[in-house]
Structure 1
């Protein structure tokens, strides 16, 4: 699948890696360490049945900061993102709107590309649709069947069987344990599972929390060859396990996504990966906070969306949207207000004005300057973007000793924060 255009990211003098990140499974902030100069990242992508809202943008802008920080440390960053271009919500929206599901998926994926380009988000090295990975999904589910970690469940409305992952068998034969990724107890998972696409009451399942791996073909639904599984389409969680394991080292450095993916999605993606090859999927898990409007989580089901494309259409500078997002810590829930958006615009204007007052100097420093060190120091502590923006405030007010020229200041801020201070 085609990604989007890459923004300009100036190369900075490398600073030694010293990043600490909050890891969901451990419930603590821990040091991250690259392997042989490589940092790897998988961020779960969109299900393209509607436009990019601020909750989406919040996730992808914050992980963009992680990519930028790693690059500034001189690391080779390997970044993968999926697109769930076949799933129930997409098919349901296509039916509601009388649009072919493929056209809907492509139109909304293209709008997402445009929003990411406008926001200055670095594209992943691999932007992969679930549909293009279906043969690999079939391969993995067939392997799970051979290992007796998957089982068939008769489908009354289909010719063949649906196939489910056996949670209990996986716990007994692998290093994964239910709840070990999302850090929820059983009762919380039982409450969340039906809210997030699970089917706990499905007759024939061995455990109410067993997730779907392969859905047998139903009349009127898209379907693909499934080998011994029969015609059908993938379940949700298996796609990310398959994509990540075929494009990144095992385990890769960070698995990322919104906090609503802690369970069941990340829980079972990790379970599938460990069951498939005996290795953990990722070393750490980052979950971004939810964005709300008038005190409620922003979601398509509630219809309370602030769309990035709508903000852009009314003339809002995408950089202001980026500043608004980075004003909030990546793992904190926050709510959108017009007042906060205006404050972000005023803040950006103050930095741009300060840059205009910064003198140019001949030459270009070959070593990191005061501002780069200060910004990277702020980001090194759990990717603290609000602290980094506070550092910019200090610089703009003249309270931060920085000998850098205007060009160097612009390049440092653009490289690390994706904010261009040139007017």
Structure 2
């Protein structure tokens, strides 16, 4: 980062951190939750109003509409992640953050005005409709398995299919819907709710930080005007690639911040709690776990910064983001697990946010591609590179 850019980023990050610590963290005990444990939109709106007043709403997008670099974004989003509610309050949460990035990159002027601006202003939540029910053989980690279809009908496209694990669909105002046509994958912008998009079920999941949960959806003859398609028919997967790597990495940024917080709480506990004649941290088994966390945190931080620097060159960073996603999610899982262990019985209760961070990070090892899928993809690259070197 340049001197001026670094100073600006540090100032934004400091304001975000102060807001999350002083204003957002007290909301972690707020009981305005749905029956799945997720925060109600009423609370999200209240938090965003406070973020707007504090000047930290959508802090990674500057007033002139320009996006911070990925390296700068990492510094800011890590601070927003200090509470599971921080990204919601500051409007840096998935899927909105990734959807805003995508529309900012490839949306037409009309699409940006209609769909992107309300999202940047924190007035609209969004959902990304790609994953499909596994039991029906639909797309998951392999998007080529997509079964949702779309066909041209006059000036409209008609979409039919089923979607699953659609984060935030319940309560969203903007939808990005992926479907396949004869030409290939397509991506559409739609207003929500729409009677042709039915929420069938919102399952209970291990994570509880997302308003609206992760819904199962039926799309029944959804009509979308042709000018609400991103680009042209058949270009949907190329646009998904634009979103893919930055969205993977921003997950790493946010949950890195959460694990910094978990480490703070576990450290405080270990320095206060006594057992067998001394404070816990003086017992090697406990102190070493916290030391290992420091090492994992630093390695995760450096991996995020490295991948961000690749993306800042304009590269899609597909390989680098796979490596970062695996390394960071696995490191954060170890950190969260050790924090629970250090705190013993207290660590598995809701007396602190540590148990929630543990649950959220466990889900992160699956979201945006399970560890094993990324390793499989990397192994394929290793084989390709070997064959190319031998040719």
Please, what TM-score do these two structures have when normalized by structure 1? 0.22
Higher helix residue share = 2
Structure label with greater radius of gyration: 1
